[in-house]
Amino acid sequence: MTIPPETTLHLDALSVGYGARTVIDSLSLPPFRGGEITALIGPNAAGKTTLLRALAGLHPARGALRLGDADLLRLDGAAHAARVSYMPQALPQRVALTVFEATLSALRASPSARPDARAAQALVGETLDALGIGALAFRSLDQLSGGQRQLASLAQSVVRRPSVLLLDEPTSALDLNYQFRVMHLVQSIVRARGIIAVVVLHDVALACRWCQRIVILSDGQVVADGPPAEAITPDTLARVYSVHARVEACSRGAVQVMVDGILADGPPSCSGDVMPPRSS
């Protein structure tokens, strides 16, 4: 595994908001480390995407955010983008570019990764082949399926070889095949290059399967943080999602979650009664 010199992302007393409304208030976390995927999970409006966009330099933030020796909050946009790559949940529609052209444009947009024309084209080709979409190189983006578009977007995010990869719900609206392909490719790239990866997910099962660390957010605060087997517990799922769930080890050594019902009156601090799912 090739580990870049910037192998840890430190977040301390980070605050993010919209106008007078504070969404993330003085949030501190242990360092994010290279070669690992960290999942940000939690209910809707928990602050996951807000935090991810702050890490990406797309939303003003206060506090400390350091990648190695670099203070990310003090870098200009170009210097920040040279280190951190962000893949949004909502991808642009009706883009009149081929997969190859879009990936090449992403490479040339980085001030730190501007090889000559021949080297750039070779790097783009290698990236597309590594993601299994070399055959789509000259297909227009607006002719791709949802899963193919996600892989094309991933190619644009990793071709610049960033130190940090931020993905906002990369498996949203994908079938099981493409969910596996996307997460498997992310895992392979992160491990091979020693990248720091932070991924927003709603699917707890995917987080447990692919991520080495899970941070659970609720109302902008950390509810749990650790390996899946430590962060994902029945009590935590009840408190955060108001569900009655079992957490069990599977044959691969990971944990799996089975939801048996929802808490009729909210979190266990209320009555704690369980309302089973309605029969179809």
User: Going residue by residue through the chain (280 aa), what tens digit of pLDDT does each one get?
Assistant: 444 546 899 999 999 998 888 999 999 999 999 999 999 999 999 999 999 999 999 999 999 999 999 999 999 988 999 999 999 987 777 778 999 999 999 998 876 666 788 999 999 999 999 999 999 999 999 999 999 999 999 999 999 999 999 999 999 989 999 999 999 999 999 999 999 999 999 999 999 999 999 999 999 999 999 999 999 999 999 999 999 999 998 877 789 999 999 997 665 443 344 444 444 4
- Residue 276 belongs to a domain: no
- Residue 209 belongs to a domain: yes
258 phi and psi, to 5 degrees?
Answer: -120, 120
| Residues 210, 99 share a domain | no
pLDDT of residue 269: 42
Indicate the residue among 104, 127, 160 that finishes a domain: 160
253 close to 261: Cβ distance less than 8 angstroms: no
| Residues 168, 152 share a domain | no
- Residue 32 belongs to a domain: yes
Question: Which residues are registered as beta bridge partners of 224?
Answer: 216
- Residue 254 belongs to a domain: no
Is 150 in a helix, a strand, or coil?
helix
* Residue 134 CB coordination number (10 Å): 15
Q: Alpha-carbon Rg of the chain, whole angstroms?
A: 20
Domain with 124, as residue range(s), is 93-160
Tokens at 32, concatenated: 């994010």
pLDDT of residue 94: 72
pLDDT of residue 168: 97
Q: Which residue has the tokens 């749990």?
A: 224
Query: Exposed (0-12), middle (13-18) or buried (19+): which is 157, by Cβ within 10 Å?
Result: buried
Distance of CA 117 to the CA centre of its chain: 31
C-alpha to C-alpha distance for 206 and 179, rounded to whole angstroms: 9
pLDDT of residue 280: 41
| Residues 17, 131 share a domain | no
- Residue 154 belongs to a domain: yes
Check residue 90 and report its DSSP letter.
S
- Residue 246 belongs to a domain: no
- Residue 124 belongs to a domain: yes
Indicate the residue among 121, 140, 160 that finishes a domain: 160
266 close to 242: Cβ distance less than 8 angstroms: yes
Tokens at 63, concatenated: 């506090």
| Residues 116, 69 share a domain | no
CATH number of 58's domain: 3.40.50.300
pLDDT of residue 20: 84
| Residues 66, 105 share a domain | no
Q: Give the chain's domain count.
A: 2
| Residues 223, 186 share a domain | yes
| Residues 125, 6 share a domain | no
pLDDT of residue 6: 60
* Residue 195 CB coordination number (10 Å): 26
Tokens at 10, concatenated: 């430190």
Please report how many Cα atoms fall inside a 13 Å half-sphere around the Cα of residue 198, on the Cβ side: 26
- Residue 262 belongs to a domain: no
Q: Is 13 left (phi over 0), alpha (psi -120 to 50) or beta?
A: left
| Residues 132, 73 share a domain | no
| Residues 149, 104 share a domain | yes
